[in-house]
Amino acid sequence: MAHKVFPYLLRHLKVERVNQVWATISTYIPMEKGFMYLTAIIDLHSRYVVNWFISNSMDAKWVIEVMQEAIDEYSPPEIVNTDQGSQYTSEEFVSVVLKEPQRTKLSMDGKGRATDNAFIESLWKSIKYEKIYLSPPIDRVDLYQKVAEYFDYYNCQRQHWIKHLGFVSNGSLIDSYQHFFVNSKRKKK
């Protein structure tokens, strides 16, 4: 039985605020012996990596866990954009994203259209070329440490081009990001 594919909702959408759109896909990370999978969620407005996880499989349970943790920690976004991988089209993942009362919409890239998820594809290129390829991890623990270090740098220090702001460091956006999430957590209580 084929999984349901959702329409791409980001075409012509102006992303103007934090938590409007999250993007998530998985990539493989080469190591000295073998490889692991890295899944991350990025906020498209701030380029903030909301959550991430490393796994030795592409099983849906890992992406579900990453998404649920992010929603629990911050609050659900308006839209989640993914690719059409089986882990993202699984009933379990779809139910986590679409569950009531959060009213999140699910958007999926067109088949073979990596440019639909350009921001997270750019994140993969950045972590691989700026961290992983320079010093390939020897095992899962080493990989976890390298990814944690990189995402801390990426979220707090690395400069990003944001169309309406120019080059900014995420550190300057984190205050507004944290302010948003602190306020949204207060509303939940």
Per-residue pLDDT at 186 exceeds 50? no
Is 96 within 8 Å of 71 (Cβ atoms)?
A: yes
Query: In the chain, what percentage of residues exceed pLDDT 70?
Result: 80
Instruction: Tell me what the pLDDT averaged over the chain comes to.
Output: 84
Rounded Cα distance, 22 and 10, in Å: 11
Per-residue pLDDT at 159 exceeds 70? no
Is 6 within 8 Å of 24 (Cβ atoms)?
A: no
Least confident of 29-33, 41-45, 94-98, 178-182: 178-182
Residue 9 in tokens: 């909702």
pTM of the model: 0.84
Rounded Cα distance, 83 and 111, in Å: 8
Which residues, at least 6 apart from 160, have a Cβ–Cβ distance to it below 8 Å? 47, 167, 168, 169, 170
Is 106 within 8 Å of 11 (Cβ atoms)?
A: no
From the options 3.40.50.720, 3.30.420.10, 3.40.50.2300, 1.10.275.10, give the CATH code of 21-150: 3.30.420.10
Is 6 within 8 Å of 106 (Cβ atoms)?
A: yes
The three-state secondary structure class of 101 is coil
